Structures are given as C-alpha cells and as structure tokens.
Amino acid sequence: MNRLKQMSKNNDNPDDDAELFRAEFSDIRELAQDKVPPFRQSRPPRPAKREQDDQQVLKDMLSDPIDLAEVETGEELLFARDGIQPKVLQKLRRGQYSIEAELDLHRMTSDQARAALSNFINQSVSSGLRTVRIIHGKGHGSPGKLPVLKNKVNHWLKQKDQILAFCSSRPVDGGTGAIYVLLKRLR
C-alpha cells in the first residue's frame, strides 16, 4: 500500500492511478466458497379452499333417521338445546317471535329437502336472522299418510349446531305441519 501512495504522489495522471491500482491487486485471487445453502424441500401445495369446502360439506351433511315412524301426523315437535331458558321456549311456542324468513318443503324429495334446509339454515344464520319458519307438511300426500319430511326435518335440525330450539307452530301458522326455529347468533 505504501508503494501505491508513493507512486500516486509522483504521478497525477488518473489513468496511471487506475493502472497502478490494478497492478497492486493483480496477485489477489477470489476465494473459493465451499458452503452451499441448505436444501429445503418445499411442501406440496395444499388445496386449502377445497379442504374448507369438504369440511363444510361434512358439516352440512345430515343423516337420515333410522326409524321414519318417530312422529305421528298430528304430533307436535319440540326440541331445545341445553341452556335454553324455559321462557324463551315458551315465547317460541306461542309464536311471539317475529318470523324473519320461511322455507316451504312441500312436494320436495328427501334429497331436495335436505339440501334446501341446509342452505336455508346457513344463509339465515349468516344473514343474522334469529327466528324462521319451516313448512314440512303433515304427510297427507305421502304413501301411508306418514309424515316423511316431518320426521326427517325433526332429525336433521337436531344435528345442526346453529339450531337452538324448534317447536311446532301455532294453528294459524301451519300447526303441526310447520315449525318455528330459533337460530344461534353469529358472534
């Protein structure tokens, strides 16, 4: 380095300075690097949306009741989850909550009714609705005059976590052919 300073004092030409610099560092060689960055095997991509959709389908799947003769044509339906206050259930049975939406399952097959019911409940909950009515019919048009959809709706609704309570409606709103349903609120 000292030699470089001495030479640059003698020469004021910038081209000579560059040449001196190259000459000074000409014996320098690049160090060989023996380190390789670690190999990280990437995870295969996960279809997150598909998995979420599959989980929703499983959540929405409603099994059919084993015994279809659970409820007779004129019998009232009544269900409440643990923790529902008796006064709330009493108001529901009296029809004192305003009905915010309605689903009519008349003339639907079991598969159509299951899909329609699941979609209706999910949309009602996501819309913030609190009380809905579902018309399942009394079964007068079904074979053997048994209420097929009434029994299935009774069974399906008990499987849905969004349902807090349900009961047969007042005669003016369909009687034992319809139910009032109290839904959970979204947090």
Mean pLDDT in residue range 152-164: 90
> Is residue 179 assigned to a domain?
yes
Residue 22 within a domain = no
The predicted model gives 109-117 an average pLDDT of 89
CA–CA dist 105, 137 (Å, integer) = 7
- Say what the pTM is: 0.63
Residue 70 within a domain:
no
Task: Note the pLDDT of residue 8.
Answer: 47
53: in domain: no
Mean of pLDDT values over 1-22? 64
In a domain? residue 14 = no
Q: pLDDT class for 10, splitting at 50, 70, 90?
A: low
Q: What is the count of structural domains for the chain?
A: 1
In a domain, 126, yes or no: yes
Q: 31-60 in b/e burial notation, b at 16+ Cβ within 10 A?
A: eeeeeeeeeeeeeeeeeeeeeeeeeeeeeb
Separation between Cα atoms, residue 8 and residue 122, nearest integer Å: 84
Please tell me the predicted confidence (pLDDT) of residue 131.
96
pLDDT of res. 12: 60
What's 97's domain CATH number?
3.30.1370.110
In sequence order, the β-bridge partners of residue 134 are 103, 179
Cβ proximity of 117 and 103 under 8 Å: yes
State pLDDT tens for residues 51-104.
777 777 666 666 665 554 465 556 788 999 999 999 999 999 999 999 999 999
Q: Percent of the chain beyond pLDDT 90?
A: 34
The answer as to whether 57 is a domain residue is: no
Q: Tell me which residue range forms the domain holding 150.
A: 76-183
As a whole number, the mean pLDDT across the chain is: 81
* Of 116, 127, 118, nearest in space to 163 by CA: 118
Q: Which residue has the higher pLDDT, 73 or 154?
A: 154
Query: How far apart are the C-alpha atoms of 116 and 101, rounded to whole Å?
Result: 13
What gap in Å lies between CA 166 and CA 81, rounded to an integer? 9
Asked, for residue 171, whether it belongs to a domain, the answer is: yes
Least confident of 51-60, 71-80, 115-124, 148-157: 51-60
Q: Which of 75, 90, 63, 50 is nearest to 157 (CA)?
A: 63
